[in-house]
Amino acid sequence: MAQSARFALADWGTTRLRVWLSDAAGTVIDERRSDQGMAVCRNGGPQKFADVFESELTAMGASPDLPAVISGMAGARGGWREAAYMPTPAPVAQIADAAVIIDGVRPVAILPGVSQNEPADVMRGEEVQIAGSGLREGWICLPGTHSKWVWLESGRIVRFTTFMTGELFSLLSRQSILTASIDASRTVEKNDAHFIAGVRQMVDREIDLSAALFSIRAGGILHDADNGANAARLSGLLIGAEVAAAKAEGPIRLIADDRLGALYAAAFATVGREYEVIDAERATRQGLIAAAQKIYEGRT
């Protein structure tokens, strides 16, 4: 398989690394996933990133001269090599033009992220997913540890906002007073009534998030509320608060994996928002392939 490979592509996130090989036409012919994310690699400096990346490619049988493109945290300060942010308004199709090229074992192009000056905000990786989605106008929601809501005009990221939804869920369910009342290992189902009720409470602004959180603990003490139901309620409250705060209008394009895509879609449906789901991994691969074709083959 690796013989027909033309590009090595990677999305290097905080907690995981995903690598693909594609042929010249952009068809993916192999893939690997690793937990050697930015958080693990950063203490080893640039050499650690290089070693991890080469080790993944060797395991895939990739030729040493196969050129590579990487999006995500590898380009952050403290990553493999810093790739300065493109400021808004940022044309997503031109991200590849601002790549930083490392000439080591093979050429490795590190893609930049996008920054917004005021209110201060940053992204690394989502801009490649947006480029890969082919979208050019309107609201895009990219849920995750740090969810992004992006307003796109003529293929440019004009403004965006980050919500710490996924990280707050993790902190509150695993490390706070709420932990005793929440089963964080339980998968929240999109049609769980506690999830839906949490979404609705936040979107209708019945109660503020900061006041709603402790009621999960108190409900556990007073009413023996089920810890699985409480996990669903916390998820609904946090996603509902995000949807309410995003103040997006019109249809929303949701670039997400299956799990978060289903939850956010259920939240949008609950509050009567029009939406369309786009597979996040496919968007990432498409964005990386387009960047590789531009950088290494001069295609525009």
Which residues of the chain form contacts with a second copy (CB under 8 A)? Answer: 77, 85, 115-117, 119-122, 146, 161-165, 167-168, 171-172, 175-177, 207-215, 217-219, 221-223, 225, 238, 241-242, 244-246
| Residue 49 CB, nearest approach to a second copy (Å) | 19
How far is Cα 15 from Cα 72, in angstroms, rounded to an integer?
11
d(CA 280, CA 282): 5
Q: Whose Cβ is closer to a second copy: residue 137's or residue 214's?
A: 214
Q: Give least dist CB 15 to a second copy, A.
A: 12
Candidates 103, 113, 52; CA nearest to 77 is 113
Quote the tokens at residue 182: 């929440």
Instruction: Output 6 or 146, the one with its CB closest to a second copy.
Output: 146
For residue 282, what are its two tokens? 């496919």
Q: In angstroms, what is the minimal distance from the CB of 84 to a second copy?
A: 11
* CA max distance for the chain: 65
- Measured from the CB atom, is 224 or 274 closer to a second copy? 224
**Distance between CA 150 and CA 160 in Å, rounded?**
4
Q: What kind and span of H or E run contains 267?
A: helix 258-270
Number of residues assigned to the chain? 300
CB of 80 to a second copy, least distance (A): 17
Q: How far is the CB of 189 from a second copy (least distance, A)?
A: 23
SS3 182: coil
- CB closer to a second copy, 208 vs 258: 208
Instruction: In angstroms, give the least distance from the CB of 177 to a second copy.
Output: 6
Closer by beta carbon to a second copy, 14 or else 26:
14
Q: How far is the CB of 277 from a second copy (least distance, A)?
A: 22
The CA distance from 19 to 67, in Å, is 13
In terms of CB distance, is 94 or 179 closer to a second copy? 179
Residue nearer to a second copy on the CB measure, 191 or 210: 210
Those residues with Cβ within 8 angstroms of residue 115's Cβ, 6 or more apart along the chain or in another chain: 85, 86, 87, 88, 121, 122, 123
- Spatial strand order of the sheet with 114-116 comes to 86-87, 114-116, 121-123
Hey, what long-range contacts does 195-198 have (CB within 8 A, 24 or more apart)? 195/232, 195/233, 195/235, 195/236, 195/263, 195/266, 196/236, 196/266, 196/270, 197/233, 197/236, 198/232, 198/233, 198/234, 198/235, 198/236, 198/237, 198/238, 198/239, 198/240
88 versus 286: smaller Cβ distance to a second copy: 88
> What's the min distance (Å) between Cβ of 178 and a second copy?
8
